[in-house]
Amino acid sequence: MTVTEQPATRAGTVPTARSLTGTLGTTAIVMMVVAAAAPLTVVGGAAPLGILLGDGVGFPAMYAISGLVLFLFAVGLSAMTRHVPKPGAFFTFVGYGLGKPAGLATAFLALLTYTAIQVSVHGYVGYILSVTVAGLGGPDLPWFLYSLLTIALVGFLGYRHIDLSSKVLGVLLVAEVAIVLALVAAVVISGGPEGLSLAPFEPNNVLSGSPGIGLMFAIAAFIGFEATAIFRDEAKDPSRTIPRATYIAVIGIGVFYTLASWALVMAWGPGGVLAQAAKDPGAMILITTLTYLGPIGEVIMNVLLITSMFACVLSFHNVITRYQHSMSNAKVLPNVLGSVHHKHFAPHVSSVVQTATAAVLIVIFAVLGLDPVLEVFTWFAGVATLAIAVLMAITSVAVIVFFARTGADRRLWHTKIAPGLGLIGLAGSAIVIAANFPMLVGDVNEQGLPVFGTVSAVLLGLIVLFPVGGLVQAAVLKRTDRAAYDNMTDAISG
């Protein structure tokens, strides 16, 4: 990997490294973004909750539906990457399609999205580690100490060469996918207590219970796949690598989640899976593994659940640091965040800032006495889910507008039909998620119906506040530094 340097602005000044370059292949990028989706964490944590709180037996179909909608979104996203050769993803594409203010607004919303999902998982992994260590006879330490330890380890890897992170993520991802596929195979071979069937995909089951909640859990499981464009500057042959990685990621995630959740239903049977999920959704995957793979399989699954969460936060750390790096090069975040380490060739300052941000948030949550699972994880995963649906919907609009204005690509499927269908699906999903958001954070009335209380108002307010902040900054920058404003989008590539 090499670094592109900007020329010194005055005699005697040492040039500052600003641009990331590298030779990441399709496989490495796919592993990093799929690791962010945390396959085992989703199958073990989100799927049982989707079954319990969502549409029960029909929940696996929600992964298939979400995968289809996001595939349509990926078609436009991939077409855009061929004609806008810049990193930055949402920030860049919306800026090119809808203008600089809209681009900056989505940039800040994206930072909120990825920070929220990262810190939510830090809370969860801290809890899991504290319970696991105590259960093995170790010291009974508070969850936030384990969260801070995880943040430190992630920060160490994020500070260094991206290839190191990709190798760590690759090993962890292969291991967690392998154990889930082993469980699926065991269920298929045994046939389950009620035999194998396609009951999860029957319309009456898909629309049963609370399909809106089910859709919310399903879309949340895909967060991270769209970040392939973030690694453009570090990719080998990015015009081919990035689109290919995007398609492989979204299709692979969709198929994997649908298959794994179907197997989870079959493991207990359509008639018994809801009751089993209600007993203990957090332990459902471990109990299922014990039943079908025995005690050794259960131990392996428990260990890989923890490493899956670690892989998730490491991947999102890399995404956020590169988002900050791109925004710095666009002159909308402090200049120092755009620097690249002379030895590790990573956005090291951005990495340190992200590590500090995660640590400070965890400390604040601990001081406030928030529950690491029911509040830290659930609340902020909900924020990220709604924000990502909004971000993708806006990006779909930007893709359509960009190609309609420039005529750079005249393929109807890639520039109008697929992005348009994706927009309809994403906008509908965002509405459903927003309507059900209070239930996710526990704001319900005596009848159990969602009401927009204090927690809902604060968390939803963040989703409004961050993009508004971006719009305000764009307006200020336009008045105070017109040159920086005019070069905002072009500056992203360094």
pLDDT of residue 114: 87
Full DSSP string of 355-376: HHHHHHHHHHHHHHT--IIIII
Q: Report the distance separating Cα 144 and Cα 179, nearest Å.
A: 28
Do residues 206 and 344 touch, judged by C-beta distance below 8 A? no
Q: Report the distance separating Cα 48 and Cα 36, nearest Å.
A: 19
Residues in the chain: 494
Looking at the structure of the chain, the number of domains it has is 1
User: Does residue 9 form part of some domain?
Assistant: no
pLDDT of residue 241: 80
Query: Measuring CA to CA, how many Å separate 229 from each of 18, 80, 191?
Result: 18, 10, 41
pLDDT of residue 320: 85
Residues 6 or more apart whose CB falls under 8 angstroms from that of 428 comprise none
Task: Report the CATH number at residue 122.
Answer: 1.20.1740.10
User: Does residue 475 form part of some domain?
Assistant: yes
User: Does residue 219 form part of some domain?
Assistant: yes
**How large is the angle between the packed helices 418-440 and 454-480, nearest 10 degrees?**
130
- pTM for the full model? 0.82
User: Does residue 18 form part of some domain?
Assistant: no
CA nearest neighbour of 120 among 386, 453, 464: 386
Residue 453, domain extent: 23-493
Do residues 158 and 151 touch, judged by C-beta distance below 8 A? no
Q: Report the distance separating Cα 316 and Cα 154, nearest Å.
A: 10
User: Does residue 429 form part of some domain?
Assistant: yes
Q: Is 386 exposed, middle or buried (0-12, 13-18, 19+ CB in 10 A)?
A: buried
User: Does residue 382 form part of some domain?
Assistant: yes
User: Does residue 457 form part of some domain?
Assistant: yes
User: Does residue 163 form part of some domain?
Assistant: yes
pLDDT of residue 365: 95
Would you give the distance in Å from CA 18 to the centre of its chain? 26
Note down pLDDT in tens along the chain; length 494 residues.
Answer: 333 333 333 333 333 445 544 556 677 777 767 776 778 888 987 898 889 888 899 999 999 999 999 999 999 988 888 787 665 567 788 988 999 899 889 989 988 998 998 999 899 889 888 888 888 888 889 999 999 999 999 888 876 655 555 667 677 778 888 999 999 999 999 999 999 999 999 999 999 888 888 888 898 888 877 767 666 666 666 667 878 888 888 999 999 999 999 999 999 999 999 999 988 887 888 899 999 999 999 889 988 888 888 888 887 888 888 778 777 877 788 877 766 755 655 677 888 889 999 999 999 999 999 988 878 988 898 899 899 999 999 999 999 999 999 988 889 999 999 999 999 999 999 998 888 888 777 776 766 666 778 888 899 999 999 999 999 998 998 888 887 777 776 544 33
Q: Which two tokens stand for residue 457?
A: 């108002």
Give the burial string for 125-156 (b: 16+ CB within 10 Å, else e): bbbbbbeeeeeeeeeeeebbebbbebbeebbe
